[in-house]
Structure 1
Amino acid sequence: MVIHPKIRGFICTNAHPIGCAENVRQQIAYIKKQAPVTNGPKRVLVIGSSTGYGLASRIAAAYGSGAKTLGVCFEKEPTERKTGTAGWYNTAAFHNFAKTDGLYCHTINGDAFSDEIKAQTIAQIKEDLGQIDLVIYSLASPKRKDPETGEVYSSTLKPVGGSYTTKTYDTDKDSVHEISLDPANDDEIAQTIKVMGGQDWERWIDQLHAAGVLAQDCQTTAYTYIGKKLTWPIYGHATIGRAKEDLDRAAANLRSSYSDVNLSAWVSSLKALVTQASSAIPVMPLYISLIYGVMKEEGTHEGCIEQIYRLFTEGLYTDSPRLDEANRLRMDGLETNEATQAKIEALWNQVTQENFHELADYKGYHSEFLRLFGFGIEGVDYDADVEPQVSW
């Protein structure tokens, strides 16, 4: 099968197995060039392990600390006629590289919100690892089925307290235009918290602890994005923001609830990047295109793997982590500092349809978007016939 990208809206509906493998290989190569993670994790569970920050976390743990990694993801397997998801191919590639390098890895494919997958994961930990010393929570999903009631909750991307009008960029139409978002009602806020808040993170830790598979001095972290003034109306002062507040609540609860294993629980605030999740959020394609340009000029631009390596070495595994007033690990300072934000805000006020491609780094944005699905990667022959059916 010859595989070229099929883009619909803010997603790519196919993926390239060779390109995804090369993307994984490059991230592994980056970690191999860095200093080892001092006193890093040795047995790691990554919930949401197949793309973006979750995949980078698995790579950083395995290749930066020699950790055995157990991943949980929900990805679609390829068939003779259709490619698998990018996360499927990423996971297959990681398994291949890890096994070649003598590193233990295992992946469970299924709905991480379900108690069935939690039980399956616990059984695998008991069989292969005994206990785990790091739990990464990196799920991004528009829906969640409550395992107790069976009710399905849906998240909403809306402001809270009033309508909001701002600029955005439509990647389909190559158009900078204004967008108006109506405020969320109470039910939409509550459902977004159910999907994107801290309840499932807490449920994972509770069941792992009850099963006796959390090691002494175990750490856990959930990933978030906080942003600054330009993104607050769609993040901080919005349904997502309410869910992020619930993550902070969950972290505090986790820190106080498992003193017998001395559990450390953190929300980690990371930089805005092109991910399958961020591509769907109004404002973000325009904002990210602008910050990419500014941060590349400043020499401070980082991708997922660079951010996560610093999270391990400057956050999770250091005696002096960068914590804010809410006890979050802050790895986003290169983006959110006042000087960089002032440059971005100045560009935001200037940008129009006519000057967008001059002021913004949309080329970089689009390149990163394609990379998510294994496309546009140097050295990969996209006109070659490839086998889509890859297993792990």
Structure 2
Amino acid sequence: MGPQQITPKQRGYLIVNSHPAGCAASVRQVWESIPPAPHEGRAPVVLVLGSSAGYGMAVLLAGLRRHGVRGIGVAYENGGTERRTATAGWYRTAEMAELASASGGDLTFLNADAYADGTRADVLKLLTERYGPVDHLVYSLASPRRTDPATGEIHHSVIKPLGGDHTSPSLVFEDGIPQIGSVELTAATDAERAATVKVMGGEDWALWVRALADENLLGEGFTTVALSYVGSEITAPVYRQGTIGAAKADLEATARRLQADVLAGRGRAFTVVAGAAVTQAATAIPSLALYISLLRDTLGADGWRTTADQAVDLWAQLTDEAALRLDAQDRIRLDGWELDAAVQARVRELWSDPAAALALAPGGAAWFYAQFRGLYGWDVPGVDYAAPAAGAAVPWPPRQP
């Protein structure tokens, strides 16, 4: 794609193109929202799986800006062609590499399928040759499918309730105007539940930890975390009590198995329960857009905790700047601001009549829509969308020499 003006191609929550300058600006916004901190001594080595979006990106940027981390980010993105733009994660990764270089950081970004054995081999080789043992492995993958490296079978995840059908109000947008709709979901089959666990559960995370251990690439005091979510009882029928929740439960069980087995005496494994966020994964989950909009209306800008805010909090706990906040299941909790009893009581009140809530206070829905479009580089303040953009000319960051 040569330099030309790019306009969004959108249908509902599906946006099939992205804006390079807008994506870059969105990354800089996250970077600038992270308070810098002086860092001395040895730079921790980090491996982030799922580094191009959401919490994975925020954790990598916060680690770099506050702790001077070095290491590897892995993401799976498509580059631009003469007919289409690259994926948003491609442009975000290019900007992260620029920020790392400008700050004197040493990060390598690999564009590869993190589920594949070949990617693990490539990462292990790079760690051995350049970075050494890993101090922090951050697992933040979200995908609709996964190929089992042992069998070659492709598993597809689904977002469905378990045990019965479910109907829920939802937030839809017609030409950018928020409206209340309804979504009806049929109950998942046992096979669909199992497939979702295969994709989103802990099996792949365990493969990565074992691969590092087998190659003696676990750093002293090694810690691995997998990003998770619990959420409100309002969204539980679709999320925590559904197929995704079954996968998250498997992720949590995997942390306990890793702690007792391969990491016994060698490191720590935790799931991290993050708070709500507008991510590409979140927009695919029915009812979550409406819930997040009402939550934002309840909390306001001052009460909302961004992915960057939570990433700073997580690093403080991982580096012993702050005590670990563990629940009864040994999960690191970052979501207290969301699940505060008074906050949830107000959101439930709004949820009981979402149409009236939307009419009374549409600000949360408008905010959600702007955040959603910003994921693809649209509506980002300060970007000249009338200027020609060279979509295909943005290269993937080269490997460090």
Change (3 A) 1:37 1:283: farther
1:82 paired with 2:81, answer no
The within-5 A match list for 1:34-113 is 34-35=36-37, 42-113=44-115
Q: How much does 1:126 deviate?
A: 0.8
Equivalent residue number for residue 14 of structure 1: 17
Q: Distance in 2 between matches of 1:127 and 1:261?
A: 26
The within-5 A match list for 1:217-256 is 217-256=221-260
Percent identity for Structure 1 against Structure 2: 36
Task: Select between 254-263 and 95-104 the one with higher mean Cα deviation.
Answer: 254-263
Q: Is contact 1:7-1:13 (8 Å) kept?
A: yes
SS at 1:194's partner residue? helix
Q: Distance in 2 between matches of 1:131 and 1:309?
A: 23
Equivalent residue number for residue 343 of structure 1: 346
Change (3 A) 1:220 1:38: farther
Q: Is contact 1:315-1:322 (8 Å) kept?
A: no
Change (3 A) 1:15 1:265: same
Q: Distance in 2 between matches of 1:318 and 1:256?
A: 26
Q: Distance in 2 between matches of 1:325 and 1:41?
A: 32
Consecutive unaligned residues of structure 2, counting only runs of 5 or more, are none
Q: Is contact 1:113-1:200 (8 Å) kept?
A: yes
Equivalent residue number for residue 262 of structure 1: 266
Letter in 1 for 2:329: A
SS at 2:196's partner residue? helix
Q: How much does 1:316 deviate?
A: 5.5
Choose from 203, 218, 228 the match for 1:214.
218
SS at 2:352's partner residue? helix
Q: Cα RMSD between the aligned structures?
A: 1.8
Letter in 2 for 1:20: C
Change (3 A) 1:355 1:257: closer
What whole-Å deviation, never above 9, does each CA across 1:245-297 have from its counterpart, x for those lacking one?
Answer: 10111000111123466211110011111111010111111111111111116
Change (3 A) 1:315 1:260: closer
Letter in 1 for 2:76: F
Q: Is contact 2:36-2:65 (8 Å) kept?
A: no
Equivalent residue number for residue 374 of structure 2: 371
Q: Distance in 2 between matches of 1:40 and 1:332?
A: 31
**Number of corresponding residues:** 389
1:289 paired with 2:293, answer yes
Letter in 1 for 2:384: D
1:182 paired with 2:186, answer yes
Q: How much does 1:30 deviate?
A: 2.1
Change (3 A) 1:227 1:260: closer
SS at 1:339's partner residue? helix
Choose from 319, 328, 331 the match for 1:328.
331
Task: Select between 239-248 and 255-264 the one with higher mean Cα deviation.
Answer: 255-264
Change (3 A) 1:245 1:97: same
1:278 paired with 2:288, answer no
Q: Distance in 2 between matches of 1:219 and 1:318?
A: 15
1:308 paired with 2:311, answer yes
Consecutive unaligned residues of structure 1, counting only runs of 5 or more, are none
Q: How much does 1:67 deviate?
A: 0.8
Q: How much does 1:340 deviate?
A: 0.3
What whole-Å deviation, never above 9, does each CA across 1:116-169 have from its counterpart, x for those lacking one?
Answer: 101111111111101110000000001000001000111111111111122112
Q: Distance in 2 between matches of 1:347 and 1:260?
A: 46
Q: Distance in 2 between matches of 1:94 and 1:257?
A: 35
Change (3 A) 1:37 1:188: farther
1:30 paired with 2:4, answer no
Q: Is contact 2:37-2:67 (8 Å) kept?
A: no
Q: Is contact 1:40-1:65 (8 Å) kept?
A: no
Change (3 A) 1:225 1:39: farther
Q: Is contact 2:305-2:337 (8 Å) kept?
A: no
Q: Is contact 2:46-2:72 (8 Å) kept?
A: yes
What whole-Å deviation, never above 9, does each CA across 1:34-85 have from its counterpart, x for those lacking one?
Answer: 4458999611000000011111111011111011130110000112332111
SS at 1:147's partner residue? coil
Q: Distance in 2 between matches of 1:39 and 1:163?
A: 55
What whole-Å deviation, never above 9, does each CA across 1:194-223 have from its counterpart, x for those lacking one?
Answer: 001000000111111111111111111001
Q: Distance in 2 between matches of 1:131 and 1:213?
A: 4
Change (3 A) 1:19 1:220: same
Q: Distance in 2 between matches of 1:238 and 1:38?
A: 45
Q: Distance in 1 between matches of 2:239 and 2:29?
A: 31
TM-score, reference length from structure 1: 0.95
